Amino acid sequence: MEQIFTDEFFMKKALQEAETAFEKGEIPVGAVIVIDNRVIAKSHNLTELLHDVTAHAEMQAITSAANFLGGKYLKDCTLYVTLEPCQMCAGALYWSQISKIVYGASDENRGFQKMGTQLHPKTVVVSGVLEKECALLMRAFFRNKR
């Protein structure tokens, strides 16, 4: 039987969120959080609309998933996000003890890998899922801005 619930499957959902951000004039980053193949949180960047640097897609998804679960730890959860998390979001993910992080495009300048932000030792990281699609959306956004 063909596998339905792949990383690509859930990253497509994160990409849909990123597209919604794009349409609102926000830097197009989208995220979903999944437990047992079920999406329990979805969000997109809203920093401009909310005038709030903390309103990254990941931060909203963490709050939303914890709210759904009724507890602050995201053990057994996977975050799918179209862009590599920044220091702030990786720092929040550290506290959440999330099991897995899957991201699409890398952020060579401000991504947590370059910045050296520590994740929880139990967190597994997968990168490059639908990388081209995620990166294309970012490039289209910044091209429009110039």
* Chain residues in the site for its own copies (CB under 8 A): 47-48, 50-54, 59, 62-63, 66-67, 69-73, 86-92, 94-96, 115-118
Count helices and strands in the chain by DSSP H and E runs:
5, 5
89 assigned ligand-binding residue: yes
Cα(99)–Cα(2) distance, integer angstroms: 25
Active site residue 84: no
* Minimum gap (Å) between residue 8 Cβ and its own copies: 28
86 assigned ligand-binding residue: yes
Cα(92)–Cα(109) distance, integer angstroms: 19
Residue of 8, 58, 108, 133 with catalytic role: 58
Q: Which helix (H) or strand (E) holds 103?
A: strand 100-105
Binding-site annotation: residue ranges for Zn(2+):
56, 86, 89
Binding-site annotation: residue ranges:
56, 86, 89
Active site residues: 58
